[in-house]
Structure 1
């Protein structure tokens, strides 16, 4: 394997036209540079330079090796720059998409850690309720986005060149008005116990929730109020006011702005998975660093 220092010496001679000028450019003495070139010729097994009264020129073998050396040195410089970006991220920008719940409860501490580690990176945050964040990543509007999917759910394939990395899985739980009989037990509540209960529903216009709503309908829950936009704060407020019950992600129930009762459901197979989506063909050091911080903070299941 050729020593990169000696390859750089050969390229410098090729560009400078003499060993003396190449030595000045590289900060070597002429004897030291000549020694490096001699070692490179021994490694190559052939003459690489022809010296003459006006300097030096490369032989055919020297020209061939210098052309390859330029590519190697360029790749090494690119790697050095990318590693420096990854370690320090001294500039650039990061565009993050998020849906409301994640933007309020998950994103701020991760953004704080990212800003502390990389203060010179320009940060922008935009709101995209699922599944629109995925489309924004595919279109290049943002570098990555937090999104979610429910279980059960109808399968939705990701666009080409977009990948999803699971960050957190949480159960969906029952929320009721404080003091409601359904929230009084400690054991899991069978889903069938919701039969006949007035349901604050997010169907039918919220695609990620549609399969969950169908499961609740099969259990006998009766839609009471339809919330046609993905606003869990509004759902919990309506529940708190006694207009019905609802089934929401555990994170939503724990952080509701209005008082609600909660209870786990049986079986515990109604879930929400929060993921970060990103392009696989245009990854940046900033996006990679941010995803690593997300994994460190939330790479676990809730509930």
Structure 2
């Protein structure tokens, strides 16, 4: 009889892929490096195909390893979910909740939710993951790297979603008196500062602007919002970014709406079937509680102005 991979082997494979070496993976798992290496070798023997390329500089995934990694993460996640579901009947929550979030969400929306969560479940550890780079928070959910994504919700998704707030994109420019609304012609007079297009969370804004901007409009991509706002302060261009990412707005700057508005819906995304697990349900309960607070009401009002 052919036996499938064990959870120990899958955890060793995942840790090695994330660490880039068997030694660092062993440290993360609290095992000997030989144990991690042997577990990975056993997986490779199952299909007779290497999962890693080995070199003196470390290990990197082969094409087979790249294909297998998301499934390994989900297999381990399902095993852990089974235990969580069995222990969810009134048991005190412990372990780790992995939350992916954009920086602006991590600054303005996530901390008050986590504060409420900690009050109710002080032994539940929260790990914050960067949901900005690459394919975004939803992708981290889909391949099992995150339990919850605080992210921009898309129209077409297979995930369970809970909308939280609408956030308009705005133009940030030096403070001055304006006698009229901005037009697309105004954008030609100075460079336009945008977050990088290769990040999934910024792609829709780039598509929107390219629909209306003239070909001679100068666009510069800047990864950090604080750098972008400093450049605007020093007359190096106008920035277009989500309103939430511009907060707190510097005294020397002002915001204006885009000539053709573009909003993003911010909310929570979770794998279908996982919203009822104890740790994700606790997070959703804390989020719903935060949405009833005056603090959230003030933020919602500010973003709608």
Please indicate, yes or no, whether the TM-score normalized by the shorter chain is above 0.5: yes
- Which of the residues 280, 286, 295 maps onto 2:279? 286
Matches of 2:221 and 2:110, distance apart in 1:
25
Contact 2:150 2:268 (C-alpha < 8 Å) held by counterparts: yes
User: Residue 209 of structure 1: CA displacement?
Assistant: 2.7
Match of 1:122 among 122, 125, 138: 125
* Residues 132 and 200 in structure 2, CA contact (< 8 A), matched pair in contact too: no
Aligned residues: 210
Contact kept in structure 2, 1:191 and 1:266, CA below 8 Å: yes
Partner of 2:105: 102
Equivalent of 1:134 in 130, 134, 138:
138
Sort the Cα spacing of 1:280 and 1:265 in 2 relative to 1 into closer, same or farther, 3 A: same
Per-residue deviation at 1:157?
A: 4.4
Summarize deviations over 1:28-55 as a string: whole Å, max 9, x none: xxxxxxxxxxxxxxxxxxxxxxxxxxxx
Asked if 1 retains the 8 angstrom alpha-carbon contact of 2:193 and 2:222, the reply is no
User: Aligned match of 2:258 in 258, 261, 265?
Assistant: 265
Tell me the C-alpha RMSD between the 2 structures: 3.2
Q: Give the distance between the partners of 1:241 and 1:167, measured in 2 at CA.
A: 34
User: 1:194 and 1:276, CA in 2 relative to 1: closer, same or farther beyond 3 A?
Assistant: same
How far off is 1:107 after superposition? 1.0
In the aligned structure 2, how far is the partner of 1:128 from the partner of 1:249? 15
Relative to structure 1, the CA distance from residue 141 to residue 188 in structure 2 (aligned partners, 3 Å threshold; closer, same or farther) is: same
Unaligned runs of 5+ in 2: 1-83
Task: Give the match's secondary structure for 1:95.
Answer: strand
Q: Secondary structure at the match of 2:107?
A: helix
After TM superposition, the score normalised by the length of structure 2 is: 0.58
Does 2:190 align with 1:224?
A: no
TM-score, normalised via structure 1 length: 0.59
Asked if 2 retains the 8 angstrom alpha-carbon contact of 1:186 and 1:263, the reply is no
Q: Give the distance between the partners of 1:228 and 1:246, measured in 2 at CA.
A: 10
- Bigger radius of gyration: 1
Offset at 1:83? 4.4
Contact 2:171-2:255 within 8 A present in 1 as well? yes
Residues 82 and 285 in structure 1, CA contact (< 8 A), matched pair in contact too: yes
Unaligned runs of 5+ in 1: 1-77, 150-154
Structure 1 residue 102: Cα displacement: 0.9
The C-alpha deviation readout for 1:187-237, integer Å capped at 9, x for no partner, is 6534454344421133543343334234334244854352253x3222222
In 2 relative to 1, CA 81–234 (structure 1 residues): closer, same or farther, beyond 3 Å?
same
Query: How far apart are 1:275 and its partner, in Å?
Result: 1.9
Q: In the alignment, does 2:205 pair up with 1:199?
A: no
Distance 1:140 1:79 in 2: 17
Structure 2 SS opposite 1:290: helix
Instruction: Return the offset for 1:248.
Output: 1.4
Do the aligned partners of residues 214 and 122 (structure 1) sit closer, same or farther apart at CA in structure 2, a change above 3 Å counting?
Answer: closer
